Amino acid sequence: MNNKRQSMFNGEIAKHAVKESFIKLNPMFMMKNPVMFIVEVGTFVVLMMVLFPKYFGTEDQIGFNISVFLILLFTVLFANFAEALAEGRGKAQADSLKKGKREIQANKRIGSEIKVINSTELRKGDVVIVSSGEMIPGDGEVIEGLASVDESAITGESAPVIKEAGGDFNSVTGGTRVVSDVITVRITADPGESFIDKMISLVEGAQRQKTPNEIALNTLLTCLTLIFLIVVVTLAPIANYFDIDLPIPVLISLLVCLIPTTIGGLLSAIGIAGMDRVTQFNVLAMSGKAVEASGDINTMILDKTGTITYGNRMASEFIPVGKMTKKELGYWAAISSLKDETPEGRSVLELMRKLDYFVEDQLAVGGEFVEFKAQTRMSGIDLKDGRHVRKGAVDSVRKWVESQGGLIPADLEDKANVISSDGGTPLAVAVDGIIYGLIYLKDTVKPGMKERFDQLRQMGIKTIMCTGDNPLTAATIAREAGVDSFIAESTPEDKIAVIRREQSEGKLVAMTGDGTNDAPALAQADVGLAMNSGTTAAKEASNMVDLDSDPSKIIEVVAIGKQLLMTRGALTTFSIANDVAKYFAIIPAMFMVAIPEMNGLNVMSLGSPLSAILSALIFNAVIIPLLIPLAMKGVKYKPMGASKLLSRNLLIYGVGGVIAPFLGIKVIDLIVHLWI
């Protein structure tokens, strides 16, 4: 998505929005927005009075009626323009993606043969071979090999990323290009169901579903509109009873000024722009509900590795225990890692090369590799000669050795604690009943994480770190990062348990993850952010996918969600506060001639009844386009408590919403009064 950050008033987008503004005047479309539909009906009624003045007996008011008609028409057009502009930005992103989507030649593996076919012929489960310089023909998972992949077509980032089999970073996206080496990919999506297809569907935005909060607010605005409609309709006969003539255009003007036209005209645009901001941030939200939910998050569950720390836990030192030597420990650590395709496993072999230690590769030939599992927290190899080699968490290896009838070295616990207290991760290495020592895995906390967690705390969000590390290592990392709580030696079941516990207390929970073992917790969380580089299972279980695969982005996603809710709330407050000022402009103007005492309410000292009504209408129309940039960009969010945030917004958008119309209507009246 290289061109995804479209300028708000890009010429093509603005031109398209102007055209759509008129197309959206179709009553069948306008009925979806009750507030603006009422304005359109009023516009049509005034137009009839302009076209047929004799029939309505309004020949002497033709100039005023034309003015009211034009102002009401522009009010509706401005509201349509705001929505069309938001949709246009999404469609521009979709067009950019569509240009990058094309048929690709795929090398499909059928048994031992390779058949070249079009990517559109691929189906879920097919296996393809992708070599250096070739495009990946569809979404899938790497099942063999390791390669650098250029994902700039999706993420906009030029730096290639490593994709490899056997780990959590094995997911590839159709339309990306292999930069080096060869990988074998199993296709996981049928044509039309790929990530790019989903992105195109979502960023176009026109057919999006309204979120629960948006539906609730729309219901409130509809009720307010009905109330004011009843008030205005009953006002006419009451005025006639007192021999006060209230022309229909004046009553329509009063209705339009009193109903919440500002937020009614911008509500849809705010929702579309909110989704657009998330997409511009390279996060694919499966629904607007997920974006809204992120703004109400109370608890955030974070993986340590790759989120709080860099995640590149690499073997940095061999620490033998008992009477073992470094060479002996390194030898068996290497044997256990020969078939281990994880970054940690490869780092053990890299450390062996740096130390010039010898490893007998042939010993592992024919052996059965034992993959790492969250439940056992160990991996290793069962050799052909009957020996069993294991490496993994110290307590897991210790229990395994005890089950083999072996003895535990006296210095094992102390040396493991020293590594843990330094923030490292100790991996024990054992052969049958003998523990040879520890592999010191180093990982570091990302800079600035403590400050970011402080910001979350100011938002009222509790942070919980989940890690497979032992309690001592977990405590050290948690203290350095500044999280509120942590769960050490956590399993997938532990993550689900803590999410359910928080939810049982009425809290909304967010979580990041990239592995298959994270999928159940991602599905359970209210906001699950999966990494694009992660497994297909994780992405399918989540309701958001980060295309940049940056786990710490969940913090920004929460801020975007809060910004969306704040923008909607702020503009609603501003819109309703506006009505107070418009009330003081129109009500005195309607009655001051017949009831001179009403002139006391003319606190703005407006020039005449006609200029007061037109000035209020003009302000009501002009304020919509003036607020479009705010609706698109969102209200600036600063981390703070809910009560403080409410007070701040009431002051700015509540009090400001009352003052701005007083000033604006007065300035407009000075100009209009001269014209009249």
Is 514 known as a binding-site position?
A: yes
Q: What is the pLDDT of residue 594?
A: 65
Q: Which residues contact 133 (CB under 8 A, 6 or more apart)?
A: 177, 178, 179
Cα(158)–Cα(135) distance, integer angstroms = 15
Q: Which letter, b or e, does each residue of 453-492 get, where b requires 16 or more Cβ atoms within 10 Å of its Cβ?
A: beebeebebbbbbbbbbbebbbbbbbeebbbeebbbbbbb
User: What superfamily would CATH give domain 312-444?
Assistant: Calcium-transporting ATPase, cytoplasmic domain N (3.40.1110.10)
Report the 10 Å Cβ neighbour count for 112: 5
Q: What is the pLDDT of residue 66?
A: 93
Residue 2's pLDDT band (cuts 50, 70, 90): very low
Taking the alpha carbons at both ends of the chain, their separation in whole angstroms is 53
Q: Please give the helix or strand (H or E) that residue 274 lies within, else none.
A: helix 261-280
Is 592 known as a binding-site position?
A: no
Q: What is the pLDDT of residue 676?
A: 63
Residue among 516, 535, 172, 169 nearest 342 (CA): 169
Q: Among 65-79, 162-176, 433-447, 450-464, which is the least confidently predicted range?
A: 162-176
Residue 139 appears among annotated catalytic residues = no
Q: What are phi and psi of 327, to 5 degrees?
A: -65, -40
Is 86 known as a binding-site position?
A: no
Does residue 206 register a pLDDT over 70?
no
Q: What is the mean pLDDT of residues 513-524?
A: 82
Does residue 3 register a pLDDT over 50?
no
Q: What is the pLDDT of residue 324?
A: 92
Does residue 579 register a pLDDT over 50?
yes
Q: Please give the helix or strand (H or E) that residue 426 lies within, else none.
A: strand 425-431
> Which residue did the predictor score with more confidence, 175 or 84?
84
Residue among 576, 514, 591 nearest 547 (CA): 514
Residue among 633, 617, 660, 662 nearest 249 (CA): 617
Q: What is the pLDDT of residue 42?
A: 94
Report the 10 Å Cβ neighbour count for 350: 14
Q: Among 61-70, 71-80, 201-210, 367-376, which is the least confidently predicted range?
A: 201-210
Q: 100 vs 17, 96, 174, 176, 540, CA distance in Å? A: 24, 7, 10, 10, 24
Is 344 known as a binding-site position?
A: yes
Is 454 known as a binding-site position?
A: no
> Which residue did the predictor score with more confidence, 564 or 169?
564
Q: Please give the helix or strand (H or E) that residue 113 lies within, else none.
A: strand 113-118
Read off the amino acid at residue 233. Answer: V
Does residue 633 register a pLDDT over 70?
yes
Residue among 137, 147, 98 nearest 117 (CA): 137
Is 374 known as a binding-site position?
A: yes
Query: What's the burial of 386, exposed, middle or buried (CB within 10 Å: 0-12/13-18/19+)?
Result: exposed
Does residue 425 register a pLDDT over 90?
no
Q: What is the pLDDT of residue 430?
A: 94
Does residue 153 register a pLDDT over 70?
no
Question: Which single residue is written with the structure tokens 């058949």?
Answer: 115
> 335, 364 in Cβ contact below 8 A?
yes
Is 373 known as a binding-site position?
A: yes
Q: What is the pLDDT of residue 185?
A: 92
Domain residue extents for the chain: 11-93+203-279+558-673, 123-190, 286-308+446-547, 312-444
Q: What is the pLDDT of residue 441?
A: 87
Overall size of the chain counted in residues: 676
User: What CATH number belongs to 123-190?
Assistant: 2.70.150.10
Q: What is the mean pLDDT of residues 331-357?
A: 87
Q: Which residues contact 325 (CB under 8 A, 6 or more apart)?
A: none
Summarised one tens digit per residue, pLDDT across range 390-404 is 999 999 999 999 998
Is 190 known as a binding-site position?
A: no
Q: What is the mean pLDDT of residues 170-193?
A: 84
Reduced to 3 states (helix: H, G, I; strand: E, B; else coil), residue 628 is helix
Residue among 269, 307, 11, 451 nearest 277 (CA): 269
CATH 3.40.50.300 describes domain 286-308+446-547: no
> What beta strand segments (E) does 188-304 contain?
283-285, 299-303
Q: Find the radius of gyration of the CA atoms of the chain.
A: 33
Q: What are phi and psi of 52, to 5 degrees?
A: -130, 65
Residue 36's pLDDT band (cuts 50, 70, 90): very high
Summarised one tens digit per residue, pLDDT across range 362-393 is 888 888 888 887 678 899 999 988 899 999 99
DSSP of 496-560: HHHHHHHHHTT--EEEEE-SGGGHHHHHHSSEEEEETTS-HHHHHH-SEEETT--GGGHHHHHHH
> Which residue did the predictor score with more confidence, 286 or 479?
479
Q: Which parts of 404-504 fold into alpha helices (H)? A: 412-421, 449-458, 471-481, 492-504
Catalytic one of 126, 168, 276, 303: 303
Summarised one tens digit per residue, pLDDT across range 345-368 is 888 988 998 888 888 778 888 888
Is 493 known as a binding-site position?
A: no
Question: Which single residue is written with the structure tokens 């009500």?
Answer: 587
Q: Which tokens is 238 given?
A: 């009451």
> Which residue did the predictor score with more confidence, 430 or 519?
430
Is 550 known as a binding-site position?
A: no
Residue 1's pLDDT band (cuts 50, 70, 90): very low
Q: 662 vs 78, 481, 554, 579, CA distance in Å? A: 21, 50, 42, 10
Is 245 known as a binding-site position?
A: no
Is 391 known as a binding-site position?
A: yes
Summarised one tens digit per residue, pLDDT across range 268-285 is 888 777 777 787 777 877
Q: What is the pLDDT of residue 312?
A: 66
Q: What is the pLDDT of residue 84?
A: 86
- For the chain, percent of residues with pLDDT exceeding 90: 25
Summarised one tens digit per residue, pLDDT across range 88-142 is 766 666 665 565 556 688 899 988 889 988 888 888 899 999 998 888 888 888 8
Q: Looking at the DSSP assignment, which residues form a beta bridge with residue 545?
A: 284, 530
Mean pLDDT of the chain, nearest integer: 83
Q: 413 vs 407, 423, 633, CA distance in Å? A: 13, 15, 55
Q: Which tokens is 155 given?
A: 């993420």
- For the chain, percent of residues with pLDDT exceeding 70: 90
Cα(272)–Cα(443) distance, integer angstroms = 40
DSSP of 282-302: TEEES-HHHHHHHHT--EEEE
Does residue 574 register a pLDDT over 60?
yes
Is 309 known as a binding-site position?
A: no
